[in-house]
Structure 1
Amino acid sequence: MPAPGRFAIACWGPSGDFSCACLGACPRSVPGRIARGMSTPAFRGVGAPAACSKRDRNRASPGRGSVLEIDDVRVERPGFVLHLARQRLDAGSLLTIVGPSGGGKSTLLRALLGLEPRASVRGLRWKGRDLHGLPPHRRPFAWMPQDLGLWPHLDALEHLAFARSRGARLRAVDEDHELLRQLGIGHRAHARPSSLSAGERQRLAFARVMAQQPQWAVLDEPFSHLDPVLAEELGHAFFAIARERGMGLVLVSHHIGRHQRSSLQADPFWVIENGGVTQCGGWQDIARAPATPWIERFVDLHH
């Protein structure tokens, strides 16, 4: 077992559920201030579905070697099976995963991040390197969980400083201020989560992901407790910053923003229902020819 205060994977909440996105060392064990000398590597894991055509899988390829691939992922539990195969996602892709509740979206993220103990994953590769068997903190992902996992005793700047590797902290203060400013919370740099609004907490959680400088940002239902106007605003900001930094994005959400529906880049979508991918492609492709009754209803709601 790791020593108290240091985690191989992450922090766990009082209910026993996974609670926050810290790795390497947990600031919940460090009252008041950041513990010097502790490092917090980024999370790292996702690919594209068997239902996708080769054209869809290669839609945004910056280089043949910069590809996240998975040959097979399977999760079985009583009454439910998630199974996806032959998946591929090019570096820098901004992927949105949608589907009915309970269909397997969050389970897929956890399986590929290395956080799902019941998962059987084979052939998970990033840039040709096999990731299977690597601990979560050595995979090319930074994760924003549904509950955000913010640390109550750290202010906004301290969240970003803790997320960075030790060597980057001292030279990154100005960059952290700029990142908070870009996300509209520059004036809240010294505020703790309890004094932030729901939207400000979402922005801080995303800023912490960006501070880790991962190859992929993985966001699980980041807009679930926000009104549609704020969700639209934050979604646009998240996509714009990821695109500006050349970072891949994997987003599970029931909210599809105008920027996603009208994107000139034709950002990819996957639809996951009943444990499998039922359709994938750009939004316009899906809207023109929805493959299932659920997708047809979902498209109608976003027109």
Structure 2
Amino acid sequence: MTDTSSAGWGLRGTAGVSFAATLEFDAVEVKLGGRVVLDHFSLTLKPGEIVCLLGESGSGKSTALRVAAGIQPVHGGAVRINGTAVSAPGLNTPPDRRGIGLMFQDFALFPHLTVLQNVLFGLRRLGREAALGQARAALRRVGLGDREEDYPHMLSGGQQQRLALARSVAPRPGVLLLDEPFSSLDARLRETVREETLAVLRETHVTSLIVTHDPEEAMVLGDRVALLRHGRIAQIGTAAEIYRQPIDLSAARFFSPLSEIESVVTNGHAPTPLGLVATPGLADGTAVTIAIRPAGGARMAILGPGTPGRIVGKRDAIGIDICEVSVEGLDLPLGLRQPSDAGLSVGQDVFVTLNREHVLVFARD
């Protein structure tokens, strides 16, 4: 028997399989109110791939989803599903003829329909028996098989999210579009719901485009992560690639806070109060910013070796110490996160060493 990892959800491996489609944005342009929202936006998703579109508010990520859904016409370029154009200037195939599923952050459930009727709504093209079979299978998979006669208002927030997921995957779409699907859930629920949703997406093999503003969420969910900036993709790659090798300082800042040190390349290295940092590929005299992530970029210990520092701030998270360490020559304290150590306290002298693998170097403009 397939195991169930989270209480309340159905057995893994029981979701119906979709005929996954390719989704291609080809130099898509969208202008709203005279402003360019998508600027030659290009992205291709392979069948069964999960891509997370990550960006700040106003970067164009929700517009990209609306374009794929057929809700927003385009002013240039094209969108293709399985190679067939569904959006182009003068062409906009309706959403219900694109073979896509939609899942919005507010769930968009029909309050006057029962749980079962909400799922059946997207299966109207099937015969009654086939529709009931697919609807009930989807409800069982999300753990709502015994709630089909209830109405959405009778469900908790997490259960409403499950219902929205069941309704989205029941028609077995070729492409599933998810817009900030976990943003309305509290932190306690979010991790479990995210994990189970990912399991359902994997089971159905549906090609999925997930919009989020949360870097951690994108890195957990996506086969690839696309960082959107001013209507264009600034960088795309696996979570590891985009985190470890960000294209520029702005991209690096998006994924975590940074401690930044200004320096100038001398003899292939940038001198800093924490020691020399190698600068391969940068000419001597180049002004650089050395960026140190709080997790992994440096470590501190009570005993040397290392650069002397003093803990000036310390907060306890679950299993993690979040510290600020003052180091002579640095304008601001260095931010560090490392496993909890009861022996460390504010005011304590420590030694700091860089983990040069996780230190980033960017040429300054």
**Normalized against structure 2, the TM-score is what?**
0.59
- Residues 114/256 of structure 1: CA separation in 2 closer, same or farther (3 Å cut): same
Within 5 Å, give how 1:176-195 maps onto structure 2.
176-195=135-154
Match of 2:12 in 1: none
Larger radius of gyration: 2
Within 5 Å, give how 1:1-303 maps onto structure 2.
67-77=22-32, 78-117=34-73, 119-132=74-87, 133=91, 134-255=93-214, 261=219, 267-300=223-256
Instruction: Check conservation: 2:122, 2:171, Cα contact below 8 A.
Output: yes
* Separation (CA, whole Å) in 1 of partners of 2:86 and 2:42: 15
Number of matched residues?
A: 236
| Structure in which a larger fraction of residues adopt helix | 1
- Deviation, structure 1 residue 80: 4.3
Greater shift, 177-186 or 78-87, is seen at 78-87
Root-mean-square deviation (CA, aligned residues, Å) is 2.6
Deviations 1:115-155 (A, max 9, x none): 124x2243322222222322222113111123221111111
Greater shift, 277-286 or 192-201, is seen at 192-201
- Deviation, structure 1 residue 183: 1.5
Q: Which amino acid aligns with 2:166?
A: A
Instruction: Check conservation: 2:45, 2:207, Cα contact below 8 A.
Output: no
Q: Which amino acid aligns with 1:128?
A: G
- Deviation, structure 1 residue 192: 0.8
Gaps of 5+ in 2: 1-18, 258-293, 296-365
* Separation (CA, whole Å) in 1 of partners of 2:127 and 2:53: 32
- Residues 109/262 of structure 1: CA separation in 2 closer, same or farther (3 Å cut): closer
- Deviation, structure 1 residue 220: 0.6
SS at structure 1 position matched to 2:247: coil
Does 1 or 2 have the higher relative contact order (CA < 8 Å, sep 6+)?
A: 1
- Deviation, structure 1 residue 184: 2.7
* Separation (CA, whole Å) in 1 of partners of 2:220 and 2:101: 27
SS at structure 2 position matched to 1:250: strand
Q: Which amino acid aligns with 2:235?
A: Q
Match of 2:6 in 1: none
Deviations 1:204-238 (A, max 9, x none): 11111111211011011111111233222122222
Deviations 1:243-279 (A, max 9, x none): 1112111111234567x6467xx70111112221111
| Structure in which a larger fraction of residues adopt strand | 2
**Normalized against structure 1, the TM-score is what?**
0.70
- Deviation, structure 1 residue 79: 4.2
Gaps of 5+ in 1: 1-61
Q: Which amino acid aligns with 2:240?
A: Q
